[in-house]
Amino acid sequence: MVRRRVRRWLEGHGWPEDPIDDVVLAVHEAVANVVDHAYPPGARGEVAISASLLPDGPHRRRAHVVVKDRGRWRPPPADPGYRGRGLQMVRGCMDVVDIRPGTDGRHGTKLTMLSAAVGTTPAGAGRHPRLRRLHHDLLDGVHRAQQRTRILACAARRLLGTVHRLTGWGLGPGAAPLRRENGTHHVQYVQYVRTL
């Protein structure tokens, strides 16, 4: 599941629990929104998640998460059903939310989120004690590159794991192969979730 991975990622950076809950929920809803609405029923779909930490002053950071699909954006209905609530939750949990529907059939929706700025505790500043002495921007750069790669791989693996658990289709958790395209991991799973 995406949200366990996001949680562990932020915990590793010493984020307090409540702000973690917010980011986890927002990312979950953004991905759930793709699963439900970006692709027509029965279609094969893809979702790409990338996440990074951005410094905001010397002691604070923001989580920056982008969720992209290649489907067709459909505006939420006037009656706020679960989709309306999902977007309410994304907006309520993050400081900045930007939704850009694709301009042609080939490019899907890009949802960009920026969390509230959070002061991280020194103990959680990193898993590499020696690097802590370096300038915080360099540390951020190192972590950003590492985490971006890790979160993509794990998110894709967990999504396939969920599909496997729900439908029996495909491979179990941890065994999912990843398809790499232009440096981004994609995973084909939407079709199977939709058939539930």
Partner 1 sequence: MTELDNPRPRTWSWHSPILRVVVSADRNGASLRYDVRLVGELDLASVGSLTDALEALRDERPELVVIDLSEMRFVDARGLSALVDIDRDLRAVGGSLVLARPDPHVRRVLTLTAVDTQIDVR
Sites of contact with partner 1 (CB under 8 A) = 3, 18, 21, 24-25, 28-29, 32, 35-36, 81-83, 85-86, 88-89, 92-93, 162, 165-166, 193, 196
Quote the CA–CA distance of 119 and 109 in Å, as a whole number: 31
Q: What is the DSSP string of 93-146?
A: H-SEEEEE--SSTT---EEEEEPPPEEPPGGGS-S-GGGGGS-HHHHHHHHHHH
Q: Which is nearer to partner 1, 31 or 125 (CB)?
A: 31
Q: Which is nearer to partner 1, 86 or 126 (CB)?
A: 86
Of 179, 142, 173, nearest to 52 (Cα)?
142
Q: Which run of H or of E encompasses 32? A: helix 17-37
Q: Which two tokens stand for residue 167?
A: 């439908």
Q: Which is nearer to partner 1, 7 or 143 (CB)?
A: 7
Q: Which is nearer to partner 1, 53 or 87 (CB)?
A: 87
Q: Which is nearer to partner 1, 83 or 143 (CB)?
A: 83
Strand segments, DSSP code E, in 4-102 are 47-55, 60-69, 96-100
In whole angstroms, how close is the CB of 130 to partner 1 at the nearest point?
36
In whole angstroms, how close is the CB of 32 to partner 1 at the nearest point?
5
Q: Which run of H or of E encompasses 182? A: none
In whole angstroms, how close is the CB of 174 to partner 1 at the nearest point?
15
In whole angstroms, how close is the CB of 191 to partner 1 at the nearest point?
15
CB 71 within 8 A of CB 34: yes
Q: Which two tokens stand for residue 22?
A: 């917010």
CB 3 within 8 A of CB 63: no
Q: Which is nearer to partner 1, 78 or 196 (CB)?
A: 196
In whole angstroms, how close is the CB of 166 to partner 1 at the nearest point?
6
In whole angstroms, how close is the CB of 80 to partner 1 at the nearest point?
8
